[in-house]
């Protein structure tokens, strides 16, 4: 059974935080699906991931394109994960079902702490997932580094 990790972004934007989390997931050998709600936003994120400054390359692709099943990181707006992902990273309020948390190694929910609607959506997801018996952790970067602030 996996767990949902909630990442409250307050200091760094999604395009800076996501590559760090994707790199960590790849270091443990996980294939990842990044789920959003809008195709145009996924294309924007695709462009940002090609500009990762550390080594300049984070292998990934967009769902619906050639070789989606071979991508170590697949950007999608769909629930299906044709790349065999064992880790799901949900952005922009993308929905995550309790059965996904329980079936996957890890689910990461990244949300903008400066957006009231995003905060409300994340609170709703926390309540729904923990209410369904999923393990969850809440991580904040308020202090300047990531710290776990709550666990259920």
Show me where the domains of the chain are located. Answer: 3-102+112-151
pLDDT of 53 reads 63
Q: Do the beta carbons of residue 62 and residue 46 sit within 8 Å?
A: yes
Residue with tokens 């294309």: 43
Query: For residue 108, what are the β-bridge partners?
Result: 5, 89
Q: What is the pTM of this model?
A: 0.94
pLDDT of 56 reads 63
- Give the CATH superfamily of 3-102+112-151: DNA polymerase III subunit chi (3.40.50.10110)
DSSP one-letter code for 65: S
Q: Please choose, from the candidates 132, 147, 144, 149, the residue with its C-alpha nearest in 3D space to the C-alpha of residue 3.
A: 132
pLDDT of 54 reads 61
pLDDT tens readout for residues 102-149: 999 999 999 999 999 999 999 999 999 999 999 999 999 988 899 999
Give me the count of residues in the chain.
152
- SS3 of residue 112 by DSSP: strand
């Amino acid at each position: 059974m996996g767990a949902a990790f909630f990442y409250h972004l307050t200091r760094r934007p999604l395009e800076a935080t996501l590559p760090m989390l994707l790199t960590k997931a790849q270091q443990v050998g996980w294939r990842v699906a990044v789920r959003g709600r809008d195709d145009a936003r996924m294309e924007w994120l695709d462009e940002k991931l090609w500009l990762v400054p550390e080594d300049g390359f984070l292998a990934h692709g967009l769902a619906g394109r050639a070789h989606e099943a071979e991508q170590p990181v697949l950007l999608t707006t769909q629930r299906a994960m044709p790349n065999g992902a064992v880790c799901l990273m949900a952005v922009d309020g993308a929905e995550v079902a309790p059965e996904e948390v329980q079936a996957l190694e890890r689910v990461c929910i990244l949300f903008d702490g400066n957006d009231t609607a995003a905060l409300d959506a994340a609170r709703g997801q926390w309540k729904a997932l923990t209410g369904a018996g999923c393990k969850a952790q809440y991580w904040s970067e308020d202090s300047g580094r990531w710290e776990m602030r709550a666990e259920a």
